[in-house]
């Protein structure tokens, strides 16, 4: 007998075979299996911490030491984490030769990630190192295939001159020492005051630096590029996001509005599921492997 899941899988694979412009949107659930906490669902780090206190420009202006402690802790966690199977499935799909096996008509494949942890980039790097023969024709498109709409937790950005650079060493300065933090709770408590002059400073002008991520009320990166991709896409694959944060939450329906189809991979229900054409309920690290073995 044939069950509903097999039919969805079959229909999805058929549609993928015809897709020309594929757009993937990812969120925190993609990195959950790597041990990076999500933001909102059960066990999400912001259930215990006040989002408004930490991920806003106002929070940083009021208490940069507190915000830096939070981001330092998450920065260390992201640097220590390893990409999971879901990252590797997406990394393989970003290789044209491998993409063609499941989507022979595909002309473009792009991945807009809301994640700041760089794990997808590292998965792509690891894959490249393992398959040298695919490296040559990939290097360009691979760099361009991932768009980090909310920036990177490893970027350090000046509050004055705008200088931004990726720094992979840790801690960024002596006042941010991992050993003093036990967890997110600690990172969100106010008992450790750090003076602005003891926080990371801009390497170009010496002013106070901030994490190179996008906070509420700030303009996300690469919006013009993304709008073009959304306009062109005929398949939008939404993975591990609650679809509650704009503008990333709007892309799938915009693709659908001009005739494209939407596939959702999520452990739980997410906003807009009722409009999705295909739903793969479960951990994306196993579901993506099942769908794209």
Annotated binding site for Zn(2+): 158, 161, 202, 205
Q: Compute, in degrees rounded to 10, the torsion defined by CA atoms 201, 202, 204, 206.
A: -40
What, of Zn ion, ligand BJW, none, does residue 76 touch, CB below 5 to 8 Å by kind?
A: none
* Interaction site with ligand BJW (CB under 6 A): 27-29, 32-33, 38-41, 44, 55, 114, 116, 150, 213-220, 240-242, 244-247, 265-268, 270, 283-285
What, of ligand BJW, Zn ion, none, does residue 146 touch, CB below 5 to 8 Å by kind?
A: none
Q: Compute, in degrees rounded to 10, the torsion defined by CA atoms 5, 6, 7, 9.
A: 90
Q: Torsions phi, psi of 281, nearest 5?
A: -90, 125
Question: What sections of 165-236 are H helices per DSSP?
Answer: 184-188, 223-232
How far is it, in rounded angstroms, from Cα 102 to Cα 100? 5
Confirm if 115 and 122 have CB atoms less than 8 A apart.
Answer: no
Catalytic: which of 21, 72, 110, 150?
A: 150
Structure tokens at 252: 């799938």
- Of 68 and 106, nearer to ligand BJW (C-beta) is 68
Please pick, from the candidates 205, 223, 228, 271, the single residue that binds Zn ion as defined by CB under 5 A.
205
C-alpha distances in Å from residue 40, one per residue of 116, 120, 184, 254, 285: 16, 21, 14, 24, 19
Residue whose token pair is 């990726």: 166
- Minimum Å gap between C-beta 25 and ligand BJW is 9
What, of ligand BJW, Zn ion, none, does residue 158 touch, CB below 5 to 8 Å by kind?
A: Zn ion
Active site residue 150: yes
What, of ligand BJW, Zn ion, none, does residue 204 touch, CB below 5 to 8 Å by kind?
A: Zn ion
- Of 108 and 250, nearer to ligand BJW (C-beta) is 250
How far is it, in rounded angstroms, from Cα 274 to Cα 16? 20
- Residue 76 in contact with Zn ion, rule: CB under 5 A: no
- Of 110 and 234, nearer to ligand BJW (C-beta) is 110
- Of 17 and 246, nearer to ligand BJW (C-beta) is 246
Confirm if 128 and 135 have CB atoms less than 8 A apart.
Answer: yes
Identify the burial level of 171 via C-beta atoms within 10 angstroms of its C-beta, where 0-12 means exposed, 13-18 middle and 19 or more buried: middle
- Of 84 and 138, nearer to ligand BJW (C-beta) is 84
Sheet holding 164-166, edge to edge: 164-166, 151-158, 209-213
- Minimum Å gap between C-beta 2 and ligand BJW is 25
Give residues 129-188 in contact with Zn ion (rule: CB under 5 A).
158, 160-161, 163
- Minimum Å gap between C-beta 133 and ligand BJW is 31
Confirm if 116 and 150 have CB atoms less than 8 A apart.
Answer: yes
Please pick, from the candidates 16, 120, 202, 279, the single residue that binds Zn ion as defined by CB under 5 A.
202
**34-63 footprint of Zn ion as x/- string (CB under 5 A):** ------------------------------
Per the DSSP assignment, residues forming a β-bridge with 209 are 158
- Minimum Å gap between C-beta 39 and ligand BJW is 3
Chain residues binding Zn ion by CB under 5 A are 158, 160-161, 163, 202, 204-205, 207
Catalytic residues: 150
């Amino acid at each position: 007998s044939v069950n509903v899941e097999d039919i969805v899988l079959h229909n999805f694979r058929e549609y993928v075979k015809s897709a020309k412009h594929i757009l993937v949107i990812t969120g925190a659930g993609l990195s959950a299996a790597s041990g990076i906490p999500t933001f909102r669902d059960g066990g999400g780090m912001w259930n215990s911490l006040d989002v408004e206190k930490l991920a806003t420009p106002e929070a940083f202006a009021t208490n940069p030491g507190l915000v830096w402690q939070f981001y330092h802790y998450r920065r260390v966690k992201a640097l220590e984490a390893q990409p999971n199977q879901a990252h590797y499935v997406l990394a393989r799909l970003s290789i044209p030769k491998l993409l063609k096996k499941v989507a022979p008509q595909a002309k473009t494949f792009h991945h807009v990630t809301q994640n700041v942890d760089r794990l997808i980039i590292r998965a792509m790097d690891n894959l490249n190192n393992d398959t040298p023969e695919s490296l040559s024709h990939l290097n360009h498109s691979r760099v361009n295939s991932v768009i980090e709409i909310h920036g990177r937790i490893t970027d350090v950005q000046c509050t004055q001159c705008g200088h931004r650079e990726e720094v992979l060493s840790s801690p960024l300065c002596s006042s941010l020492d991992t050993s003093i933090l036990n967890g997110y709770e600690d990172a969100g408590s106010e008992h450790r005051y750090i003076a602005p002059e003891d926080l990371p400073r801009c390497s170009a002008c010496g002013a106070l630096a901030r994490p190179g991520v996008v906070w509420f009320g700030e303009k996300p990166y690469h919006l013009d590029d993304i709008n073009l991709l959304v306009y062109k896409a005929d398949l939008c694959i939404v993975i591990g996001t609650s679809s509650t944060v704009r503008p990333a939450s709007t892309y799938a329906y915009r693709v659908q509005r001009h005739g494209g189809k939407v596939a959702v991979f999520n452990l739980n229900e997410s906003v807009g599921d009722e409009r999705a054409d295909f739903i793969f309920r479960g951990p994306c690290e196993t579901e993506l492997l099942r769908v794209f073995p």
